Structure 1
Amino acid sequence: MSIFKQGLVLATAGNPMGVAIADVDGDGHLDVLTAGFSGVNVWLGSGDGSMTPAPLVPTPVSYRIVTGDLDGDGDIDFLTTNGSNDGVTVGLNSGDGTFTTSRVGVGSEPRGLGLADLDEDGDLDFVSANFYGGSLSVMLGNGDGTFSPAAGGDISDGPDRPVETTIADFNGDGHMDLAVTDQSARNVVILFGHGDASFDAPVPVGTSTLSNAITSGDIDGDGDIDLIVGQYGTVMVSVLRNDGTGQFSTDLTIAGSVNNSYDAALGDLDGDGDLDMVVTDAGSSFINVLFNDGAGNFALETGSTIAVGTSPTGVSLGDFDEDGDLDIATANLNSNSSHVLINTMATYSVGATSDLEEQAGGAGGELVFTITRTATSESEVVSFALGGTATAGSDYTAPGSLTASFAAGEATVVIRIPISPDTRIENDETVTLTLTGTSGEGRISTGAGAATALIITNELPNVAPSGTDRTITVIEDGSRTIGAADFGFSDSEGHNLSAVRISTVPATGQLLLNGVAVSAGQMVSASDIASGGLVYHPAANGDGNGYASFTFQVRDDGGTQIGGTDMDQTPNSLTINVTPVNDAPVLTGDLRATVAEGGRYVLTGADIGFSDPDDSASGVVFRVSGESNGVLRVGGAVASSFTAADITAGRVSFTHNGSETGAVSFRVLVEDGNEDGSAPTQQIFTLAVTPVNDAPVLTGDLRATMAEGGHYVLTGADIGFSDPDDSASSVVFRVSGESNGVLRVGGAVASSFTAADITAGRVSFTHNGSETSAAQFRVLVEDGNEDGSAPTARTFNLGVTPVNDAPSLAVTPLVSTLAENAPTTTAIRVANLTISDIDGGTNHLTLTGADAGLFEIRSGAVWLRAGAVLDFESNPTLDVTLRLDDPTIGSGAEDSENLRINLSDVVEDLIGTPGRDHLIGTSVADILSGLGGNDTLSGGAGQDTLIGGAGVDLLRGGAGADTFVFALRDSASGYSGYISNSTLNPLSGAGRRDIILDFTHGQDRIDLSGIDTDPSRAGDQAFVWGGSGNFSDSRASVVYRQFDMAASANDRTIIYGDTDHDGRADFQIELAGLVTVTRDDFDL
């Protein structure tokens, strides 16, 4: 008979293959989701096993479905593998069981699907098993319902035909691992994870046949995750047991259990605390339920093959009717349905309804046990056994049949056990009822399959116990733990001590229970006494026999039922003797005082003393050690001990050593001969030190050596200070009485400086260069003079190392300017020399510079040599440097002076030759005449006159108002200026004309006055100016033309002169560039 009944057959769309169970609408009841060829069917549960359909969620062809909160909003979402588009559909829940979908691309033909946090970031990730791709896609959740590929991409070195996957921690390292079935080989592949979504190389685990479905769980109760593998094409399931390290044993096969298992699920179906198995049989219309014996062994029992729809390919477990046990949901591929199977298995438990208390001579009674079952739909018989410490037949009567029969619908059966009358005195006894089996599918509860009832029989009234007077001893100032034996407890019935009543408390000292004073009449339990909680403390320094006592009454654990007495009615006494001991003396006084820095303090009785109940002042001594920053003295002498009498006489003092300390101390103890053998305890006497200002003291050797006229920087080794109560920022050095030099700070003359100035190298002494062997200054250091003392000045001495002083040279010029070409037939004295050298010695004078050869030194003066050439144009200034050198002082000259004589320019005529000349004028007004040949004349500065002469000449006036002089035959003589007798053209006369390169209108002039236009007439006849017009037909005339050429560099202006007024040019003059000329630019 099956333990599951058909609950619902849910019609689904599009060949469902996978099924998942979750609460997708947030109402607290489990819902069913199936994934198939048309999408995801959603059925909303009501908590009683009924379902209501929700709208279909369209997806591509889907194989497997898993659920979880993918976007962190608290709602359950889903993932499905889609073999038709190589993707995974993400269905995000709106919170009411409706979904919005999106696609995540994975490998080819994804089938199996696993969901877990693989990278341990708190978001769910997934792994798809890509059947035709031969790969695993690891996709990492971003926490918002989107996914990204793990680093390294798909895992392609695993199974060739991965089908299904399960995710768990197989090796116990806390990270998620993967197990994947491989339909192309007889194995399962294990990939161990690192917690970052990366995995070790795949490890194959062999199976008997080709593997298909897979799930994981602890099937044998050893705490490790094992594997259940459904085989493909065979009628068996494989069980792979984990040894805890991720190593799996050779599989245990369950033959005949299933054919072509596409899915498997684990759960406790029968309530016995271990995992049972449900596997689908896609080659039939059945699923199989296999029960676990707790050790991981499974059996297919009668009635455990359950009919569902055609080709079940998906299975999942959940409590749909909320009765506390697991139900089943399937996805049936070829019947377009999902079956919901309700668990009807009964679980039996037993409890003892009451105990029996029977007095001596009683008439007996009964014990009542109640057997309860969880499911009531079937009739069933439960067998049981009786046991315990009671004896069947004498203490109780067992039923004739040790069974309980449950009718259909019956939930409880009561078992009554008669108890026999009994007059014997004996201990309490028990009866235990243990459930042993059922006649049907029912199961015995693992935790409540047995119950025990108590028989309390044959009791007599309790007789009071008794205590004994006792005496105990305690050491003075000690303590005594009072144990059970100190009360002399005895009981004729063998009962145990349960408590002691303290009737009266000690008059002296303290009796404490767990540190709290005991009061008269207080009950102290035996457990507190056994744990050492009851303790007596005598008063301080108390001693003697019979020092204290208290009374008590003992109580047993027999109780007071039926008129019994559990407490001794007559109090007993516990007397306490205290053995005296020597009391160590104790230091008294505040152990503190105040002493001035460097001062002396006399100790008083208020500062230090002692107390000792059994010694007088003459019997104790104070011992001192560990003095800091001072010494203890007795009667003025350094001492390490003193007496109370010394304190009283004022002979004990402490002298501070004057250091800059805020406090000083010494350790002190007092002892009385140490009769008790104890180690006296030292305490610290502390003296606060009142600081006084200490005047700063100069440090350093206050001496240095420097060169004559030199500069010495003072260092910390030369001068510094010490001051125990001031820092560098609080003191200042003051200087006076400098001799043969000055003190400077930062280069400026100063009379004070700081230690920081010294550290920074800013303090120096500069010698005045005098011929002295020593220099000095007075210096003192002060800190504000808080102590009122007068700082003492000391002398800082500097030894002066003499040096040879460099000579100096003075030049007194006698001549500053000479005319160009001035006569130098005899030498000219141009400057006087003066040499100064405080140390005497031989000095050398030398002349350097480009013009040094023109000068000589003699008779303490500088002379321009006879015959020196004075040419302004080639050398307008005569420069010479005079260098004075003392050979005993290093290398090079010690002093030098420059002497310059300027030459004044004199007008000169520059006359060429009949050949080709290049004449260059000076800055004054020059006359340049080229004579014959093709000459180049450059006037330079000044108002120059340029006469090209015969030949083709280039004329450049340079700066100044220049005059260009022409004769009739100087330039292009005889060239008419016309080409083909039409217009004036520059080609006529080209290459024959003189060219003025820099004619400036309004400044320079062209002089034609030397050309006589009419020799037949008396006098020099002038030209007529025609400007830019034509020649005059009656008189000699001059005109000009501008020729704007294609390249501006070739622009030109040509002056044409007609001397015989025939309308044709007799000479031409070319001006570079386009120049507008007027009558005023000519001397005609």
Structure 2
Amino acid sequence: MQRIRNAHRPHRWQARGVFLACLVAAATHVSGCGGEGTAPAPGGPTLPNGLLVALSQFEVSPEGKVLPKPGPALLELLALRDGVWQLSTLEDPDSNVFHKAMVYTPPGGSAGILTLGGSGAHLKLWRTQDGQSWLAERLWTKDFGGKFSRMRDAEVGDLLGNGNPDIAVATHDQGVVALVSPKAGGGFEVKELDQRADTFVHEIEIGDLDGDGVLEFYSTPSDPNRLDGSVQRGQVMRYVPSTGAEPALAADLGDRHAKEILVEDVDGDGRDELYVAVEGHAEGKGASARLVHPVEIRRYEAGTDPKEGAVVATLQDRLCRFLTAGDIDGDGKLELVVAAFRSGLWLLRPSEDPNGSWTRTQIDRNSGGFEHASILTDLDGDGRDELYVASDQDGELRSYRFDNGRFDKEVIYRRAVPSAYLTWNVMPVPAALVPEGEPAPLAP
């Protein structure tokens, strides 16, 4: 089953993330981001949809010290059944990280779990054989010839205009952007649309900014990672595979860059917009480090000059890796959630002038992480999106439900050793694709 991002766009399939945890954990309820309550009781609700959690994991010494030794790429699958969150896992020794996992259904085939692995770079489609054991179909694998070979991000949509679900893929570290398309007789064809030496491409987004009914997609090439917040140049590029047009510059970020973008019609005018989370710029190191330029959320329409994106919000932070849009209150209007590195979770609503400053509300100051993977999605099917967040700094997977003007927080799972795992993405999945698992352990 392919999951439509929005009912008014049947041509585009969702491809974004959420989180889970592992080993010793809790499932507690917290109202209004305050104190803890009680966990769901057995015999409670069963949800039609669950979560996929893409992870890297690291060895832990007998003394409890996390070692710089990555294990196999790890995917955790979570479903709420009879009031209990069930956990099952999938590991792939061919890679040491899953950057993303999502549902994908090839034409004429059955739904599976699509994974993007790093070091080595593998795009695989997994299905269960007997409800428990997994079998992988390899769609694409490649050594890109640089220091790293990683499948970093992907989205799915009808990018060739033939009704089939094409996969647009971003990679590290030779700037390869590719289109992986199902072939009529079975199998997949890979076409590399872009390549730049020593370039990281972190993000892919699909949409239709100019409203011509033809899907384009966007990518975020940048200089190799500099985690100290120093100068790192980057751009956002635009591709229209169905027309054969050359890649075009959509956003020129100068000596700054973005690892997260979102294409969505957040302002409700009937056309998509491009939102770019421009990373902050810091100078100095350690205690002397200072933030020179904060994180900016910039907005671009189809005709926006690549150098003139409108800044709709700023955050006093240096990293921002997740933007997610959804309808938290069921009023038919979209909100934007921003998950920053240290400054927490933020809710943004468009102003009367969508290019002006947006209304900004803090959802939770005490949530964060290097990726801070987050997604707005409606797992229970009540017409209102819930927010699911991986607060890796706390080793917790959390959900937030907006009710009576406030967010109620539930801690679904808590890790025993938070720093032994890094959550890269979280995605919704039909619960029917989640194997029966063990109950997620509760804290004592």
TM range (shorter): 0.5 to 0.7
Residues 238 and 272 (structure 1), Cα distance of their counterparts in 2 relative to 1, 3 Å cut? same
Residues 314 and 31 (structure 1), Cα distance of their counterparts in 2 relative to 1, 3 Å cut? same
Residue number in structure 2 paired with 1:918: none
Amino acid in structure 2 at the alignment position of 1:166: L
The structural deviation recorded for 1:267 is 1.0
Are 1:83 and 2:178 an aligned pair?
A: no
Residue number in structure 2 paired with 1:370: none
Residues 182 and 173 (structure 1), Cα distance of their counterparts in 2 relative to 1, 3 Å cut? same
Residue number in structure 2 paired with 1:1035: none
The structural deviation recorded for 1:95 is 5.8
Residues 142 and 32 (structure 1), Cα distance of their counterparts in 2 relative to 1, 3 Å cut? closer
1:11 to 74, 89, 92: 92
The answer (yes or no) to whether the contact 1:217–1:226 under 8 Å persists in 2 is yes
Are 1:22 and 2:108 an aligned pair?
A: no
Residue number in structure 2 paired with 1:293: 402
The structural deviation recorded for 1:85 is 0.9
Alignment of 1:130-529 (within 5 A): 130-132=221-223, 134-143=233-242, 146-150=244-248, 153-157=249-253, 160-184=256-280, 185-194=293-302, 201-204=308-311, 205-210=313-318, 211-232=320-341, 234=342, 236-243=344-351, 245-246=353-354, 247-281=357-391, 286=395, 288-294=397-403, 297-305=406-414, 310-321=421-432
Are 1:32 and 2:140 an aligned pair?
A: no
Residues 100 and 89 (structure 1), Cα distance of their counterparts in 2 relative to 1, 3 Å cut? same
The answer (yes or no) to whether the contact 1:262–1:282 under 8 Å persists in 2 is yes
Q: Structure 1, residues 723-768: CA drift from partner, whole Å, max 9, x if none?
A: xxxxxxxxxxxxxxxxxxxxxxxxxxxxxxxxxxxxxxxxxxxxxx
C-alpha separation between the residues in 2 aligned to 1:241 and 1:158? 27
The answer (yes or no) to whether the contact 1:219–1:296 under 8 Å persists in 2 is no
The structural deviation recorded for 1:169 is 1.6
C-alpha separation between the residues in 2 aligned to 1:63 and 1:236? 24
Residues 139 and 207 (structure 1), Cα distance of their counterparts in 2 relative to 1, 3 Å cut? same
SS of the residue corresponding to residue 67 of structure 1 reads strand
The answer (yes or no) to whether the contact 1:215–1:227 under 8 Å persists in 2 is yes
Are 1:115 and 2:206 an aligned pair?
A: yes
Residue number in structure 1 paired with 2:215: 124
Amino acid in structure 1 at the alignment position of 2:333: D
C-alpha separation between the residues in 2 aligned to 1:137 and 1:304? 35
TM-score norm. by structure 1 comes to: 0.27
C-alpha separation between the residues in 2 aligned to 1:310 and 1:117? 36
The structural deviation recorded for 1:103 is 1.7
SS of the residue corresponding to residue 311 of structure 1 reads strand
SS of the residue corresponding to residue 267 of structure 2 reads coil
Residues 241 and 97 (structure 1), Cα distance of their counterparts in 2 relative to 1, 3 Å cut? farther
C-alpha separation between the residues in 1 aligned to 2:200 and 2:87? 34
Residues 280 and 291 (structure 1), Cα distance of their counterparts in 2 relative to 1, 3 Å cut? closer
The answer (yes or no) to whether the contact 1:242–1:248 under 8 Å persists in 2 is yes
The answer (yes or no) to whether the contact 1:5–1:341 under 8 Å persists in 2 is yes
C-alpha separation between the residues in 2 aligned to 1:203 and 1:143? 29
The answer (yes or no) to whether the contact 2:116–2:123 under 8 Å persists in 1 is yes
C-alpha separation between the residues in 1 aligned to 2:346 and 2:105? 32
SS of the residue corresponding to residue 323 of structure 2 reads strand
SS of the residue corresponding to residue 303 of structure 1 reads strand
SS of the residue corresponding to residue 246 of structure 2 reads strand
SS of the residue corresponding to residue 379 of structure 2 reads coil
SS of the residue corresponding to residue 412 of structure 2 reads coil
The structural deviation recorded for 1:306 is 6.6
Residues 200 and 222 (structure 1), Cα distance of their counterparts in 2 relative to 1, 3 Å cut? farther
Q: Structure 1, residues 342-384: CA drift from partner, whole Å, max 9, x if none?
A: 8999xxxxxxxxxxxxxxxxxxxxxxxxxxxxxxxxxxxxxxx
Residues 167 and 140 (structure 1), Cα distance of their counterparts in 2 relative to 1, 3 Å cut? same
SS of the residue corresponding to residue 215 of structure 1 reads strand
C-alpha separation between the residues in 2 aligned to 1:156 and 1:343? 48
Residue number in structure 2 paired with 1:1037: none
Amino acid in structure 2 at the alignment position of 1:240: L
Residue number in structure 2 paired with 1:773: none
Residues 158 and 18 (structure 1), Cα distance of their counterparts in 2 relative to 1, 3 Å cut? farther
C-alpha separation between the residues in 1 aligned to 2:125 and 2:233? 34
- Among all aligned residue pairs of Structure 1 and Structure 2, give the percentage whose two residues are the same amino acid: 18
The structural deviation recorded for 1:161 is 2.1
Amino acid in structure 2 at the alignment position of 1:315: V
Amino acid in structure 2 at the alignment position of 1:314: N
Q: What's the Cα RMSD here?
A: 3.6
2:190 to 101, 104, 128: 101
Q: Structure 1, residues 898-947: CA drift from partner, whole Å, max 9, x if none?
A: xxxxxxxxxxxxxxxxxxxxxxxxxxxxxxxxxxxxxxxxxxxxxxxxxx
SS of the residue corresponding to residue 293 of structure 1 reads strand
Which segments of 5 or more consecutive residues in structure 1 lack a partner in the other structure?
Answer: 328-339, 346-1084
The structural deviation recorded for 1:166 is 0.6
C-alpha separation between the residues in 2 aligned to 1:187 and 1:48? 47
The structural deviation recorded for 1:154 is 4.8
Q: Relative CO higher for 1 or 2, CA cutoff 8 Å, sep ≥ 6?
A: 2
Residue number in structure 2 paired with 1:376: none
The answer (yes or no) to whether the contact 2:315–2:343 under 8 Å persists in 1 is no
C-alpha separation between the residues in 2 aligned to 1:97 and 1:66? 20
C-alpha separation between the residues in 2 aligned to 1:113 and 1:122? 19
The structural deviation recorded for 1:88 is 0.8
Residues 110 and 303 (structure 1), Cα distance of their counterparts in 2 relative to 1, 3 Å cut? closer
TM-score norm. by structure 2 comes to: 0.62
Residues 55 and 291 (structure 1), Cα distance of their counterparts in 2 relative to 1, 3 Å cut? same
Alignment of 1:949-988 (within 5 A): none
SS of the residue corresponding to residue 250 of structure 1 reads strand
Alignment: residue pair count = 323
The answer (yes or no) to whether the contact 1:79–1:89 under 8 Å persists in 2 is yes
C-alpha separation between the residues in 1 aligned to 2:203 and 2:405? 25
Q: Structure 1, residues 227-266: CA drift from partner, whole Å, max 9, x if none?
A: 222212x272222233465352124141333322343221
The answer (yes or no) to whether the contact 2:379–2:428 under 8 Å persists in 1 is no
Which segments of 5 or more consecutive residues in structure 2 lack a partner in the other structure?
Answer: 1-25, 28-79, 145-149, 224-231, 281-292
The structural deviation recorded for 1:122 is 3.2
